[in-house]
Amino acid sequence: MSRVLGLLAGGDLSLAELERWARGADALYAADSAGLRLVELGFRPTLVGDFDSWPDPPAHLRCLRVPDQNSSDADKMLALAATDGHARLALMGLEGDDPGHVLGTLHSVARAGYPVDLIYRRFAGRLVRGGEEIALDIPAGRKLSLLPLAECRGVYLAGTQWPLAGATLSPDGHGSLSNQVTGPVRVTMESGLAHLSWSREGDAPWTSYESN
């Protein structure tokens, strides 16, 4: 499967780390002015967005201007990657000064309909949906959290210090915060939507933990 990198405007990762990820990618996408960082590093990403913060992107780059204000730049970028035939994407630049943008991005990922790997400064993550099974080979001792974004029923979490079996999680109830990995991790749930994250410090770019 191709390595596809999507970049948002959160300036949470250093240029050096962004360059390492970009050099290992088969395709690069950037939302609006986020593309400036990749262009400065000498890359030629596909640009997409309403370009309200970058009205004159370079003419030599593939640029899709979508003025629709009812969708975010993250929505536009994830939709374009899917239209281009990509079935999975690693998303960077999620963290910034506006918590609304972070939550909005998670909503965009939930709507995307295909797997999106969330690359934070110190963590990696995925959204887990009802009926989905995720298996991860994460080194023992890493921190892991599973937090519900909606009510989640029939939740199973294995390979952690505090496992779950048939649990119900909800935003105003219980979740699994700062758990610890003890072996191969497996997550399933009958229904709902949850955010799974684990510490990735020291890992090389494009390290894949997924075993299924």
Within 8 A by CB and 6+ apart from 183, the residues are: 140, 159
Q: What is the pLDDT of residues 131-167, one digit of tens each?
A: 999 999 999 999 999 999 999 999 999 999 999 999 9
Which pair of structure tokens corresponds to residue 1? 């499967």
Instruction: Report CA dihedral (112, 123, 188, 191) to the nearest 10 degrees.
Output: -50
Please determine whether the domains at 1-121 and 122-212 fall in the same fold group of CATH. Answer: no
Instruction: Say which CATH superfamily domain 122-212 falls into.
Output: Thiamin pyrophosphokinase, thiamin-binding domain (2.60.120.320)
CATH 3.40.50.10240 for the 1-121 domain, yes or no: yes
CA 101/CA 74 separation, integer angstroms: 10
Taking each helix axis from N to C end, the angle separating 73-83 and 99-112, rounded to the nearest 10 degrees, works out to 30
pTM over 0.85: yes
Closest to 110 measured CA to CA, from 145, 144, 137, 75:
75
Q: What is the pLDDT of residue 53?
A: 67
Q: What is the pLDDT of residue 55?
A: 62
Q: What is the pLDDT of residues 167-187, one digit of tens each?
A: 999 999 999 999 999 999 999
Determine which helix (DSSP H) or strand (DSSP E) holds 36, and give its type and residue range: helix 35-40
Within 8 A by CB and 6+ apart from 59, the residues are: none
* Residues 66-92, mean pLDDT to the nearest whole number: 89
Q: What is the pLDDT of residue 33?
A: 81
Q: Where are the domains of the chain?
A: 1-121, 122-212
CA 37/CA 59 separation, integer angstroms: 16
pLDDT surpasses 60 at 212: no
Q: Residue 199: how many CA atoms within 13 Å on its side-chain side?
A: 13
Q: Which residues pair with 123 in a beta bridge?
A: 199
